[in-house]
Structure 1
Amino acid sequence: MQFRTSDKQITKSFSSKSFAYTIEKYTYQGHQIRYVSTQLKAQKPKITLLFIHGAPGSSDAFYTYLQHPKLLAHARLVSVDRPGYGYSDFGKSITSIQEQARLLQPILQKFHSASHPVVLVGHSYGGTIAARLAMDFPELANHLIMLSPAIDPDLEKIFWFSNLPRTFPFHWLSPRSFKVAADEKFTHEEELREMLPYWEKICIPVWHVHGNKDQIVPYLNVEFSRKMLGHVPLKIISLPNANHFIPWKEEKQIISIILHSIRTFSRQE
């Protein structure tokens, strides 16, 4: 229920595979961040994909992607524990979207170069963080793929159970990952409104992928993308009859979408 996988568990799962993996930790302005990366052995990737999970969750949300042979054939694959989750200051809430993006910036700084593009892939709340990275560090990212992103402040929904980790006695009984998720949820609308003036700073192609049966993050968020991102190449990809959990329920289609993104860079070489 803590939604995290230890270094030991990762090693046990990945060490017998045909790809190389690393578990990295860095400290930035007093915060420790952990991420996991994979790539084919004896191959220098030309592209990096950075996966950013939703709430609650951790880097293990995308471990099946990190092992996917078609993705590994083209790119380095990186999945990060967002601040407060996994093994990145676990249990310590950072409700500022700007601050979370700032703490992930060193990953972009490490992998991005003029000859090595970075693709941001964020799901749900992670899509919001990915968008903020594209706003604040446009020189360090080349493509933004948002999967079921919660980005329109007017569409933010508070579910009855969202408040349980914040109330007595459930506060003491709830897993720490749920407490962090609740803290983020109750500040999310305000944080999204703070972001409104900055959407125009995004200057890279954006793909917004959303299931039209999403009951958690309304499908109408795609209209917000159309409104705020008309100044960049924007592709809206609707998945018929799909719910909020498209990275896992619609994995084949998501892999295909990501591969299409990667091939656009290959054609530019």
Structure 2
Amino acid sequence: MGPCRLDDELDSQVLGLAWSTGCVTAQTSDDTSADPSAVVRALRAAGCVFAEDEAALLLDAATSAADLDARVARRVAGEPLEQVLGWAEFCGLRLQVEPTVFVPRRRTELVVREAAARLSPGAVLVDLCCGTGAVGVAVAAHVPGIVLHAADVDPVAVGCARRNVEPVGGHVHEGDLDAPLPVDLRGRVDVITANAPYVPTDEVAFMPSEARDHEARVALDGGADGLDLHRRIAALAPGWLRSGGHLVIETSRRQAPRTAAALTAHGMAARVVTDDELDATVVVGTRP
């Protein structure tokens, strides 16, 4: 499997635990329908670093002059470009995105890579905290024929994920972590992936406004130390994994030792994997 890559010109930039495309200043947009260059000017004035590239995407997505003006106004007001367009590129795939739904980050490509390396056709993948369903869909693209189940507690995310996951033959469930999963999967899962929120509660306020103000809090807030969901996933994973199965969970470099400790506390062997190019860290746990 080759590495997943996005267009560097349009790639989201990682800022610590947070993410921003660089368009952060809320302003009022003038009418942009008469002159495409006005779109570029409006975006540049709002602080969008790649104003020309974003303008081209917005012009291509717009269905009318009024729709274009509405999209530009949303972007100028700070809404993530992916939510304004209605799609995000992840691992070379175009995935549907809706307002308030967590936008896939490039660093999560490492989760995809580590999961896909441990799967073969017919294997079972469960993607927890699935958001748009990006991880599961990307893994399925690299390993055709897997059995894919995804789950999220946010009903808006679940609706979005179904539009991405069901076309590749997967199943999406609404509920808290493993609660909605089919019981007959217990002990049969080959890989569990999780990009669970891991931003400490007190640090959410310091995230870029694109995330803080436009993505559901449940997709960002990981509790007092950021690892509440990691500990819960570490506790539930052994009951679903087959012997020799794996848990692949995204974390940060500074939190990785504690994420790994949560896995070993529940009997799994844990290994930290990093990718400097992606600025990404995952912990891979293996059930004995």
Does the alignment reach a TM-score above 0.5? no
Which entry has the higher C-alpha Rg, 1 or 2? 2
Give the TM-score normalised by structure 2.
0.29
